[in-house]
Amino acid sequence: MTIVDFLRLLRANLLLLLAATLIGGLLGWGYSALQPRIYASESTGFLAPGNTENSVIAAGLPSDSRASSYLALTNSRAVLERVAQETGQNAAGSLSAASVPDSNLIRVTATSTDPEAAARLANTALQATADVAAEVDPNSPVRVVPLSDAQVPTAPVSPNTRNNIILGAAAGLIAGLAIALLRRMMDVKVRSRDDVRALTDAGVIGTIPEDTSLGRKGTEAMNLDPRAGESIRALRTNLNFVSVDQPPRIVSFTSANPSEGKSTIASNLARALALTGERVLLVDADLRRPRQHDLFQVPGDVGLSEVLAGEVQPEQALVDTGIPNLTLLAAGRTPPNPSELLGSERMRALLKLASQDYFVIVDSPPLLPVTDAAILSRAVDGTVLVVRQGETRKDHLEAAAESLRSVGAHLVGVVINGIAPGKGGTSGYYGYGYGSTYHKSHEKYLQGSSSAGRKGRKRNKRRS
Residue 452 belongs to some domain of the structure: yes
For the stretch 194-237, pLDDT in tens is: 899 999 999 999 999 999 999 999 888 888 999 999 999 999 99
Residue 313 belongs to some domain of the structure: yes
Q: Same domain for 322 and 205?
A: yes
Q: Same domain for 325 and 459?
A: yes
Q: Same domain for 48 and 27?
A: no
Residue 154 belongs to some domain of the structure: no
Q: What is the pLDDT of residue 65?
A: 57
Q: Same domain for 223 and 84?
A: no
Q: Same domain for 446 and 414?
A: yes
Q: Collapse the DSSP code of 49 into the 3-class scheme (helix H, G, I; strand E, B; otherwise coil) and give the result.
A: strand
Q: What is the pLDDT of residue 408?
A: 93
How does residue 93 score in pLDDT terms, banded at 50, 70 and 90?
Answer: confident
On average, the pLDDT of the chain sits at: 84
Give CA–CA dist 153/37, Å, rounded.
12
Q: What is the pLDDT of residue 133?
A: 79
Q: What is the pLDDT of residue 440?
A: 42
Q: Same domain for 269 and 127?
A: no
Cβ-defined contacts of 22-27 (< 8 Å, 24+):
22/169, 22/172, 23/172, 24/168, 24/169, 24/170, 24/171, 24/172, 24/173, 24/175, 25/165, 25/166, 25/168, 25/169, 25/172, 26/168, 27/168, 27/172
For the stretch 255-281, pLDDT in tens is: 999 999 999 999 999 999 999 999 999
Q: If you average pLDDT over residues 371-396, what whole number do you get?
A: 93
Residue 153 belongs to some domain of the structure: no
Rounded (5°) CA angle 22-23-27: 120
Spatial CA neighbour of 285 closest among 373, 217, 358, 213: 373
Q: Same domain for 170 and 296?
A: no
pLDDT above 70 coverage of the chain, percent: 85
Amino acid identity of residue 374, one-letter, is A
Q: What is the pLDDT of residue 423?
A: 53
Total number of domains in the chain: 3
Whether the per-residue pLDDT at 456 is higher than 50: the answer is no
User: 207 has which bridge partners?
Assistant: 416
CATH number at residue 333: 3.40.50.300
Rounded (5°) CA angle 361-362-363: 120
Torsion of CA 229, 231, 233, 238, to 10 degrees: -170
The whole-angstrom distance between residue 7's C-alpha and the CA centroid of its chain comes to 11
Q: What is the pLDDT of residue 141?
A: 66
For the stretch 404-444, pLDDT in tens is: 999 999 999 999 999 987 554 333 333 333 333 333 444 44
Q: Same domain for 224 and 104?
A: no
Strands 280-284 vs 326-329: parallel, antiparallel or unpaired: parallel
Give CA–CA dist 326/310, Å, rounded.
24
What element of type H or E holds 388? strand 382-388
Q: What is the pLDDT of residue 56?
A: 42
Q: Same domain for 220 and 368?
A: yes
Q: Same domain for 25 and 174?
A: yes
Range of the domain at 180: 3-35+159-186
- Going by the DSSP 8-state scheme, the letter that residue 214 receives in this structure is G
Q: What is the pLDDT of residue 100?
A: 79
CATH number at residue 138: 3.30.70.1130
Whether the per-residue pLDDT at 365 is higher than 90: the answer is yes
How does residue 185 score in pLDDT terms, banded at 50, 70 and 90?
Answer: confident
CB 68 within 8 A of CB 171: no
Q: Same domain for 123 and 206?
A: no
Show Cβ contacts of residue 355 under 8 Å, excluding neighbours closer than 6 positions. 249, 250, 381
Residue 389 belongs to some domain of the structure: yes
Residue 250 belongs to some domain of the structure: yes
Q: Collapse the DSSP code of 18 into the 3-class scheme (helix H, G, I; strand E, B; otherwise coil) and give the result.
A: helix
Q: Same domain for 357 and 413?
A: yes
